Chains A and B, each alone.
Chain A
Amino acid sequence: MLIKIARPGDLHESDVTPESIYLSRRRFMGGMAGLGAGLALAGQAHASADYSDVPAGDAPGWLQEKIDATRWQAVTPSDPEKDKLAPFDDASGYNNFYEFGSGKSDPARHAGSLETQPWSVVVDGEVNNGGRIGLEDLARPSQFEERIYRLRCVEAWSMVIPWLGIPLAEVIKRAEPTSKARYVRFETLVDPEQMPGQRSSFSLIDWPYVEGLRLDEAMHPLTLLALGMYGRELPNQNGAPLRLVVPWKYGFKSIKSIVRISLVAEQPVNSWQQIAPDEYGFYANVNPQVDHPRWSQATERRLPNSLFSPNTIDTQMFNGYADDVAELYAGLDLRVNY
C-alpha cells in the first residue's frame, strides 16, 4: 500500500483551482509598482542608455517599431555603480548555448547560420486559445520594456544585461490557460542543419532543450520574454528571436530560441535535470547556501574581470530579487528543491 505523506512544499488538490493565476494576475495588475525595494523603478521619461557603440542589428520593420517604442529602463538595478552593464561584446561573445557548441565563444562563432525570420511559436496544452502564432502576432499586443537584470550562471559567473521584451504573463493570459494548467514547459528549436551542437554524437543533452516554470513563476512580473538587448534585437547567439529571462534563477532556466510554449498539468523535466539530477533541479533558484556538487555557489565572478582581480562578489539569495520572489517559495525546502 502506498502511503503518501505530503511534504510542506507539495501542492494540494485545492491548488488545482487557478488560484495561482488569480494571485499572479492581481499582483500583475498591481503593476510594476508591486516590485520591491530591490529595484528602482523609472517612468517613461527615461531615454535609452547610450548604445552608440553597439553594432546595429538587422531587425524586421515591425520589431524595430516595437523597439523604438520601448519603455526604456523600466527596471534598473538599485545600485548602478555595483551592477554596471557588461559590454555588448562580452554579453554577445561569451555565453553558453549548447546548440552551437560547448565552448563559451562557440555560440558567437556558429550562430550566424540560424535563420530567425520567419519565426513562429506553438502555444499549446491546457489552453483555450492555443495554436501556432507568428512572432509578430505574439509580441505586438504588448508594450516593450527595457529590464536591466543581473544574470547569474550556474557556473559561478555573472553579468548585468539590459534586455528588451514583454512580460511572459501577458502571453500566457492571452492563451487563456484552463484550470488544469499548473506549469509552463518551453522548447528550443531542433534543427541540426543550423545548429552544429545538435550534430555532436557526444552531446549529453537529449534535444530539444527543455525548460519549465511553475505557473506562478511564469506569471511573475519579473519574468520576461526577451526579443532584444542593448537597444537592438537579440543577436542569434543570445537566443534570437525569442528567449526567456528569469533573473532570480540560474541562467540555464532562461531558455533560448523558443519554438514551443506549453501549459501543462505535470512538472516538466528540464534538460539539465535530465542529464544530472543530483546537480541541477527543476527550480534552480540562485542560492548561495546550496552548492553545486562540483563547485561553490557562495560567490560569483562578475564579468568582465581582469587577470589579477577576479572580481569575486558574494552571491545573493534569489540573485538579489528576494524581496520580489521569496514569497513564491514560502514553505518550500530549497535545499531539497534546488
Chain B
Amino acid sequence: MATRNTWRTWRAGVFLAALTPLVVWGWQVANNAAGPEPGRYLLLNIGTGALWMLLLTLSLTPLTRLTRWKGFTLIRRQLGLWTLAYATLHMLSYALFILGLDWAMLGSELVKRPYIIVGMLALIGLAALGATSNRWSMRRLGKRWKTLHRLAYPILGLILLHFLWVVRADLGEWVMYAAIAALVMATRLPPVARTLPRIRYRLAGT
C-alpha cells in the first residue's frame, strides 16, 4: 500500500516533470540555442505545452476509470493549474516578446485577429477554473462546481480553433492534436465510459 510519503513524492515528481520543459527552453534561450527569434520560439513551445497540459489533465479521468489508480486523481488539480500557468506564460510571451508591450498594437490586433480573441477567451476560461480550484470554492459551488469545470471541454475546442487559425500550409501537426483531443473526449461518451472498467476487469483477469 502506498504511504503518504509515496504520494507526496509522486506529486513532487509530476511537478518537476511539468516544470522541466520551461527550464529547458529557458536554458536554450539563455545559451543562444533557440534560433534567431527566441521570443517566437518560447511563444510557440509554451503554447503547444499548454495544449499538452490540458490534454493530459483531461486524460486523468478516463485513466482512473481504466486503472482505478489513485495517483491519477491526485495530480488532476496540479495539471489543471499547470495548464493555466502555461497558457498565461504563452500570453505573456506574446505581449512581451512579439508585441514588445506595444499596447496600442495589442488593441488593434485584438479587434482584427479572431485567433487572438479565441485564445484570450480560452485563457479567461482557464483563469475561472484556476480561481475555483480550491476546497472553499468546491464547497460554495456544490453541484455547480462540476458543471463549471466542464468548461474545460469548450476551452479545449477554443484552443484547437486558435491553433487551426495559425496554420499556414500543413495541417499534419494540428490533425495529430485534434485526433488526441477527439480520443480523450470520446472516452467521456457514456457507452465508452462504461466500457473502460470492463476493460480493467478483463486485463485483471488475465
Contacts and interface: CB of A to CB of B under 8 A. Distances in A.
B100 A312 contact: yes
Contacts of A205: 169-170
B171 A204 contact: yes
A102 B173 contact: yes
Interface in A79-128: 86-87, 90, 93-94, 98, 101-102, 104-105
A205 B37 CA distance: 26
B170 A104 contact: no
Nearest to B35: A94
Which of A159, A294, A307, A309 is the most central at the interface, judged by chain B CB atoms within 10 Å of its CB? A307
Given A202-B175, A294-B165, A310-B98, A102 B35 contact: no
Contacts of B109: 295-296
A304 B115 CA distance: 26
A157 B43 CA distance: 15
Given A294-B115, A307-B97, A310-B97, A86 B36 contact: yes
A-B pairs, top 9 by smallest CB distance, nearest first, are: A304-B36, A90-B36, A202-B171, A202-B172, A102-B170, A303-B36, A310-B100, A98-B169, A203-B170
B111 to A, nearest CB: 11
Interface in B58-98: 96-98
Given A294-B113, A295-B113, A307 B38 contact: yes
Interface string B104-117: 01001100110100
Interface in A196-215: 197, 200-205
A93 B35 contact: yes
Interface in B101-136: 102, 105, 108-109, 112-113, 115
B37 A200 contact: no
A90 B35 contact: yes
B108 A296 contact: yes
Contacts of A291: 112
B166 interface: yes
Interface of A: 86-87, 90, 93-94, 98, 101-102, 104-105, 155, 157, 159, 197, 200-205, 275, 291, 294-296, 301, 303-310, 312
Nearest to A95: B36
B71 to A, nearest CB: 35
10 contacts: A93-B35, A105-B35, A200-B172, A201-B172, A202-B171, A202-B174, A294-B165, A305-B36, A307-B97, A309-B100
Interface of B: 29, 35-39, 42, 96-100, 102, 105, 108-109, 112-113, 115, 165-166, 168-175
Nearest to A303: B36
A93 to B, nearest CB: 7
A203 B169 contact: yes
B25 to A, nearest CB: 11
Given A102-B170, A200-B172, A306 B38 contact: yes
B170 A197 contact: yes
B37 A305 contact: yes
Nearest to B165: A294
B168 A102 contact: yes
Contact of B39 (A86, A105, A203, A305): A305
A153 to B, nearest CB: 11
A157 B172 contact: no
A275 B108 CA distance: 26
Contacts of A105: 35
A203 B171 CA distance: 6
B181 to A, nearest CB: 16
B105 A296 contact: yes
Contacts of A104: 35, 37
A90 B57 CA distance: 37
Which of B36, B100, B102, B174 is the most central at the interface, judged by chain A CB atoms within 10 Å of its CB? B36
Contacts of B42: 307
A238 to B, nearest CB: 14
Nearest to A90: B36
Nearest to B171: A202
